[in-house]
Chains A and B, each alone.
Chain A
Amino acid sequence: MSIEVDVGGLKLGSPMIGASGLWGFGDEYADLIDLTRFGAIVTKTITARPREGNAPPRVVDLGYGLINSIGLENPGIDRFVGETLAAIDVPCDIIVSIGGETVGDYASVASRLAGEGGVAALEVNISCPNVAKGGIAFGRDPEATAAVMRAVRAETDLPLIAKLPPLPGCVEEVARAAEAEGADALAVSNTLPAMSIDIESGRPRLGGRTGGLSGPALKPVALFLVHRLAAVVGVPLIGVGGIETSADAIEYILAGATAFEVGSVVFKWLNAPSDIVMGLEEYMARKGYGSIEDFRGRAQL
C-alpha cells in the first residue's frame, strides 16, 4: 500500500499538505509537530513588498469555526528569499504561497522564486478575503484569474497550484480559466468571506472588520466544490477546508481530491495531522486499497 500521490507533477510521499497560514514561514512548530507524515507544507503568502497585516484583533473563535483577518502579513519576497527560505529545515516539501495586488506583483514574486532551490511548487493565492486589493478580487473573476495564472506560468516551470475561493456560482469558470492558463492543480478552497459583530459595542469583532471562515463549518461547502470541480476540470484537486479527522480527508478523496490540506485543526490538536494519516492508512488497509487513486472520486460514480 502506498499513499504517495502525483499532484500535477508535484510528487508527494503523503497526500497531506499543511495549509498556508498555519506554518508561518517554516519551522515555528519544529519542537512540537512531526512533519514527516506531511507531503508538503505551504508557507504563508509572500508578496512583492512587505505587508504589515491588519489591525488586531485578527481572529474570532466561533466554537464551530474560526474567522481570521491576518491580512497577509509577510516580510516580502526579498527578505523571504534572502533570510527565511534558506533557513527552513523541514522533512517534507515546501510549497510557497504567493500573492499580490496586481498581476505584475504575482509575476515578480514567481520570477524571484523560479531560480531558488528548495521550492517544490507555488500555490497562487487568488482567494484571500482579507486584503483591500487583489486576493479574492482575482479569484472570483475568470478573466483576472486567467491573467494572473498566465503571468505566473510565464515566469516559472514549477508546478502551479491555484487556490480558489469557496464561491459557488463563479468557481467553475474560475477553475476552467486557471486550468487553461497553466495551473497544474487546484486547491479548493480558501476561507469563506465572513464576519462577526459584538452586539454590545455594535462593532465588528475583527480589526479588519471582515475575515475568512475556516474550520469544520467550511468543510461541507468545500467538499461540495471539490465534487463539482472534479467533473469540470482535468487537473488534480487538493481538498482544503475543515479537515479534522481521517474521515474528513477520505471524504475529500472520495469526492475527487488527489491530496488534501490541513489547517485550523492544528490550533486544536498538534497530533491531529499524524492521526489523520494513520487513520487514512487504516481505512485503505481495511478497504483493500493499494493507492489513493484506487478510491479517489468514487463518490462521483
Chain B
Amino acid sequence: MKYCTRAAVSRNERIAESFYLMELDVGRMASDSSPGQFVHLRSLTPGWPFLRRPFSIYSSDGEGSIEIVYKVVGKATSLMSGVTPGDTLDVMGPLGTSFAPAASTTRVVAVGGGMGVPPLVFFCRKYADALDEVHLLVGAKTTAEIVVPIGLVVEGVKVTYYTEDGSKGARGLVTEGLRPALDAAGEGRVEVMACGPRDMLAETAGAARERGLRCRVSVEEVMACGVGACLSCAVPRAGGGYLHACKDGPVLDGDAVDWERWTGE
C-alpha cells in the first residue's frame, strides 16, 4: 500500500558537513517500509522546485516514524535543511522495491558508497540476525562523509571502511575491497547488495556476475511521478529497452541493467 501524507518533522539535525538526518511522523507508511524503498517528498515552503525529491528510507520504527539521511546538494535539499521540528512535508511512500535476501542466502556482502550507505544499514538492522554473516563495505571521500555511525547501530555486522583520502580505513575506492570480500565470504550461499554511485554499482554487479552470485543494486535516475506512471526515470535494461527506477527499482537485479549503456550515457 502506498500512502501520501502531510508528515510532521520531529527531528532535522546536521550529522556531518552538509549531511542531515530527518525524522518524519508518517503514520501507517512506517510499518510498510522496507530497506531499499524510498519516500518521494516535497516541502510546502515557497521556492521548492517543480518536482518531489526521492530519498531512501534509513530507518523505520515500524509504528509511525521513519528517518532519512540527505546531503545538501541543491535548492530542494537546502530548503530541507532549514526545516524545523513541527514543520510538515508532503510525503509519498513507501515506494519501489526493497533489499531482501533470497530464502537460501546465508551470507551477504553489502557495498555502500557515500549516500548509498544508509539504506544498507537499514538492511543490516532488519536482516543481520537471520543471516550467518553480513559484511558491510563502506566507502566515502573522507571520514567526514561517513555519515552513519554504523558500529553503534548494527551489532554483529563486520564493517570495513574505505576512504579516498585514507583518513579512515583503507585508502581507495570501496570497490577495491569487493573481490577480496567475496573471496573471504567462504562457504554458504553468498549474495551481494549495493547502493551508491553508478560506476560502483556497475563494478559490483560485474564482480558478482563473475562468481555467479545473486546481486541486488539500488539505482537512481532523475524521477518525476515516483509510481511508474510517467516513465521518466529510465534505466537501460540488459537486452534492450528500459527499466524504471521508481517502479521496477530502485532495487534491481544487477544482471537486469545494461551497465555499458547506462554508464556510457
User: Among the listed A32, A59, A65, A207, which residue makes an inter-chain contact with B224, where contact means beta carbons less than 8 Å apart?
Assistant: A59
Of A20-28, A116-124, A152-160, the segment with at least 4 beta carbons within 8 Å of chain B is A20-28
CA distance A115 to B240 in the complex (A): 32
B residues in contact with A22, CB < 8 Å = 225, 229-230
A residues in contact with B75, CB < 8 Å = 63
Inter-subunit contact A70/B230 (CB<8 Å): yes
Identity of the chain B residue whose Cβ is nearest the Cβ of A51 in the assembled complex: B241
With known contacts A28-B227, A32-B227, A53-B242, A270–B50 Cβ distance under 8 A: no
Inter-subunit contact B240/A52 (CB<8 Å): yes
Q: Indicate if B27 sits at the interface (CB-CB under 8 A).
A: no
Inter-subunit contact A28/B50 (CB<8 Å): no
Identity of the chain B residue whose Cβ is nearest the Cβ of A263 in the assembled complex: B230
Interface residues of A in 57-110 (CB under 8 A from B): 57-66, 68, 70, 73
Interface residues of B in 1-57 (CB under 8 A from A): 1-4, 42, 49-52
Inter-subunit contact A55/B234 (CB<8 Å): yes
Count class of interface residues, chain A: 35 or more
With known contacts A31-B3, A52-B242, A58-B222, A215–B232 Cβ distance under 8 A: no
Inter-subunit contact B230/A21 (CB<8 Å): yes
With known contacts A28-B225, A32-B2, A268–B50 Cβ distance under 8 A: yes
Q: Indicate if B63 sits at the interface (CB-CB under 8 A).
A: no
User: Among the listed A55, A60, A64, A269, which residue makes an inter-chain contact with B90, where contact means beta carbons less than 8 Å apart?
Assistant: A269
Inter-subunit contact B221/A57 (CB<8 Å): yes
Task: Give B35 Cβ to nearest chain A Cβ, in Å.
Answer: 21
CA distance A240 to B75 in the complex (A): 28
A residues in contact with B225, CB < 8 Å = 22, 28, 266-267
Q: Indicate if B190 sits at the interface (CB-CB under 8 A).
A: no
Inter-subunit contact B230/A215 (CB<8 Å): no
User: Among the listed A53, A61, A267, which residue makes an inter-chain contact with B231, where contact means beta carbons less than 8 Å apart?
Assistant: A53
Q: Indicate if A44 sits at the interface (CB-CB under 8 A).
A: yes
Interface residues of B in 119-158 (CB under 8 A from A): none
Inter-subunit contact B51/A59 (CB<8 Å): yes
With known contacts A32-B92, A73-B242, A56–B50 Cβ distance under 8 A: no
Q: Indicate if A29 sits at the interface (CB-CB under 8 A).
A: yes
Count class of interface residues, chain B: 20 to 34
Q: Indicate if B235 sits at the interface (CB-CB under 8 A).
A: yes
Interface residues of B in 98-113 (CB under 8 A from A): none
Q: Indicate if A264 sits at the interface (CB-CB under 8 A).
A: yes
A residues in contact with B228, CB < 8 Å = 24, 28
Inter-subunit contact A31/B1 (CB<8 Å): yes
Inter-subunit contact A56/B265 (CB<8 Å): yes
A residues in contact with B265, CB < 8 Å = 55-56, 207
Inter-subunit contact B49/A61 (CB<8 Å): yes
Q: Indicate if B193 sits at the interface (CB-CB under 8 A).
A: no
CA distance A64 to B50 in the complex (A): 7
Inter-subunit contact A56/B222 (CB<8 Å): yes
B residues in contact with A65, CB < 8 Å = 50
Inter-subunit contact A267/B51 (CB<8 Å): yes
Inter-subunit contact A24/B49 (CB<8 Å): no
Inter-subunit contact A70/B231 (CB<8 Å): yes
A residues in contact with B49, CB < 8 Å = 61, 63
Identity of the chain B residue whose Cβ is nearest the Cβ of A24 in the assembled complex: B229
B residues in contact with A70, CB < 8 Å = 230-232
CA distance A56 to B1 in the complex (A): 28
Interface residues of A in 14-39 (CB under 8 A from B): 21-24, 28-29, 31-32
A residues in contact with B200, CB < 8 Å = none
Inter-subunit contact B241/A56 (CB<8 Å): no
CA distance A70 to B228 in the complex (A): 13
Inter-subunit contact B2/A58 (CB<8 Å): no
Inter-subunit contact B222/A59 (CB<8 Å): yes
Flag A256-275 by CB within 8 Å of B: 1 or 0 each.
00000000101111100000
B residues in contact with A266, CB < 8 Å = 225
User: Among the listed B2, B222, B227, B247, which residue makes an inter-chain contact with A57, where contact means beta carbons less than 8 Å apart?
Assistant: B222
A residues in contact with B242, CB < 8 Å = 52-53, 56, 73
B residues in contact with A56, CB < 8 Å = 221-222, 233-236, 242, 265
Identity of the chain B residue whose Cβ is nearest the Cβ of A264 in the assembled complex: B50
A residues in contact with B235, CB < 8 Å = 56
Inter-subunit contact A28/B233 (CB<8 Å): no
Identity of the chain B residue whose Cβ is nearest the Cβ of A269 in the assembled complex: B90
Task: Give A137 Cβ to nearest chain B Cβ, in Å.
Answer: 22
Inter-subunit contact A267/B233 (CB<8 Å): no
Flag B66-93 by CB within 8 Å of A: 1 or 0 each.
0000000001000000000000001010
Given contact pairs A31-B2, A32-B2, enumerate 11 new A-B contacts (beta carbons under 8 Å): A23-B229, A28-B227, A56-B221, A56-B235, A56-B236, A59-B224, A66-B51, A70-B230, A70-B231, A207-B265, A267-B51
The 7 closest A-B pairs by CB, nearest first: A24-B229, A28-B229, A59-B232, A57-B222, A31-B2, A56-B234, A58-B232
A-B contact pairs, 11 of them (CB 8 A): A21-B230, A24-B231, A52-B241, A53-B234, A55-B265, A61-B49, A61-B51, A64-B50, A73-B242, A207-B234, A268-B42
